[in-house]
Structure 1
């Protein structure tokens, strides 16, 4: 190919990438892309403000919109609504938006899997508490437009999607994963469908029932790989019961360790303002995000030396200033507190155009 043509293509691609990172947008059912300031009021209605004015779209009029790094897709549950697209693949994973009313009669917090045009709602609170395998599997089965709609818990959902003999389903049934691992499970489900050899490299079929792959880092800074016993959702009162690869069994209080990992969830003990905080990693990248397990406070860090609280004082915004276009987009679009994961991912994924 002509070198001049290659340069032109690269320039166009670069300009397009930069433009996409500087604008929020919505895609209509007719595949028209409308760039502008996206304002949304509920889980079913969104506005796009452009130089020509403000346009209103309901969930049945748009395919999706992007606000920050997050993509909200129009999915028909009981009604068409905008759901946060967490994972997209043969198996997709969606969460309810923060703007869905929690005060309606019989509201149940849910997340959703999608596979082969079927929606699998999962009751969040029931699965966090670890109610039994067959809880809610015979809930209402109803039509949802072109999508079949199946009410279930997370184990039953993966059974329906993957089948009884699938290795990943067998590990889920063996309690080597919990509901907290659902994002990892969706990734593994897609890999198991698309690339069996790659999938087999990522799992461990020798784990004892109720144990997960992991490691511990002790205060002597020794990293020991093995498996960690899980007890539904991890809380600070839990002990870290560990079996090393050599078979040695140990038990630790979380505060005794510098760091430990359960499947792909990383927990750290970090000193912040002369106090030890027990943190779980939410995002890893140029800017990493952690949440305090005790206080539920979120922190951002670039160098793992300074951890800045995400709060109304907004001191954390200084971390974004070395990418001026991203910083301007944050300010101009008035992203909300509950959108901050989106903003961190937007910064981490943006081209490296720094001051």
Structure 2
């Protein structure tokens, strides 16, 4: 009976060996997943969220409006800065115009009139003094004549000062100071305009809205991300290489990539290899990936590879992937086993 059972046991063992061989992955297969360098869209100042033009999962073009914060105070600040600038520019224009020749002629004529009046007033006072001595006129007439002299002299001093002020060289300094004030107000307008413009966020590149963190009416803190954007060029593959295979890979090398439901012919180029090992992440640990220490490799999908797919293929963060070198190479295995030549990746 024992002899008759031996062939059956041998057949069962052979089947088990064949089945296990069918499930065994190629030795050069690398496991990983899709990840991305996300763009967290935020604004520099806080405010209430008054508008949002996208939702989670939307694809947006570069320059598309994403969301808005309240602008009332910022619009008022801009209007005030523009009013200050307009007043400063009016003052500068007035200084540059200065006294017109006609206005100077009027002042000069007034000065000559005052001088002429003074020339008449002085002899009149002398005559009044003689007449007072002879009791021909009263002392009041003499006082009025002397007051007229003082008035003429005051007018002469006023008009002389006005002419001197109009011709002073210091006007150039006042103009320079006012020009500096105008420049400062223009800078204030530019700053206020920038602050107002920064109340709305625009997509820096085409991409997919991966998440939205705030809702309409909520208060958004300064520099706090409102939504998460992933441009296609920021997609990357995180692939883990067993320690004994690390020396077989180089930055710039192209890998063949495959995943469930993905079209054939996908490629990715290695642009980073970690310098330190880490334990195999649980997200990729399986019966066919038992290496305790692995090194992270990041690879970028080749430009145009996914765009060329007629089905509109798109990478999805978290999606498991497999990668293989395009060229066959010997794979180092555990001691006691022979080296094997893997199949060329497709």
Q: Does TM, scored on the shorter chain, surpass 0.5? A: no
Q: Which of the two has greater helix per residue?
A: 2
Give me the TM-score of the superposition, normalised by structure 2: 0.16
Give me the TM-score of the superposition, normalised by structure 1: 0.16
